[in-house]
Structure 1
Amino acid sequence: MMQTNPFSNQFILSGVVCKTPKYSQSPAGIAHCQFVLEHRSTQIEAGLERQSYVRLQVIASGEEIQAQTQHLYVGQVVQVSGFLNRHESRNGLSQLVLHAQHIERIN
């Protein structure tokens, strides 16, 4: 019997592709695209304006999303929706990564 999870992990971020996308394939044959998304905006917090700046690695995996990663280039504005996950590098440093489920070109 499948149990429902009371927690949600959904994330949407728009920004500029700031590193050239890298395409690869896992040993299991799963297609991957990795790129870095840069977001800059002004947000309101406690009634005051605050500058927000984020650079986040994005991973798009699987055949279904690969069509959305075709022709991505540095400087392109996109909106990415998906879920956040922690990745650990070979040297043991942890990093927050956005696993894309949908990528939409804004311009």
Structure 2
Amino acid sequence: MFNQLVLTGQVCKSPKFTTSPAGVIHGQFSIEHKSIQQEDGFNRNAYVRLHVVTCGEQQQQLIKNFIVGDEVQVSGFLNRHESKNGQAIIAIHAQHIERLN
């Protein structure tokens, strides 16, 4: 099975960090993507806001200075999470992040 996504967008929620009981640093932030896509010969406005999850000290060093409005490209795999009230959240688990500006 293949589960891979590459998305560019703007940071719309600044990074926050937690440390697991095993001592692993997890980061979370959100990006939003807006574009015009072609579908069956027609222009379609595309908009998505996606939760990004990172893991490890190297990723923390990369994203710790991200601020709202930064342009980024994130690649990784999609996974389902649940909010504290039980709502489903789709997140991209980042395997590569690049700041574009």
TM range (shorter): over 0.9
Segments of 5+ residues of structure 1 without an aligned counterpart are: 1-6
- Whether 1:68 and 2:38 are equivalent positions in the alignment is no
Number of positions where the alignment pairs a residue of Structure 1 with one of Structure 2: 101
Partner of residue 10 from structure 2, selected from 4, 16, 19:
16
Bigger radius of gyration, 1 or 2?
1
Distance, in Å, in 2 between the alignment partners of 1:68 and 1:101 is 12
AA aligned to 1:67 is Q
> Does the 8 A contact of 2:15 with 2:64 survive in 1?
no
Q: TM-score, normalising length from structure 2?
A: 0.93
1:33 paired residue number: 27
2:93 paired residue number: 99
Distance, in Å, in 2 between the alignment partners of 1:100 and 1:35 is 11
Distance, in Å, in 2 between the alignment partners of 1:23 and 1:72 is 12
> Does the 8 A contact of 1:82 with 1:100 survive in 2?
yes
**Percent of matched pairs sharing the same residue:** 54
1:53 paired residue number: 47
Deviation at residue 34 of structure 1 after TM alignment: 0.5
Distance, in Å, in 1 between the alignment partners of 2:4 and 2:62 is 19
Q: TM-score, normalising length from structure 1?
A: 0.89
SS at match of 2:23: coil
Distance, in Å, in 2 between the alignment partners of 1:76 and 1:29 is 28
Partner of residue 86 from structure 1, selected from 56, 80, 84:
80
Deviation at residue 73 of structure 1 after TM alignment: 1.0
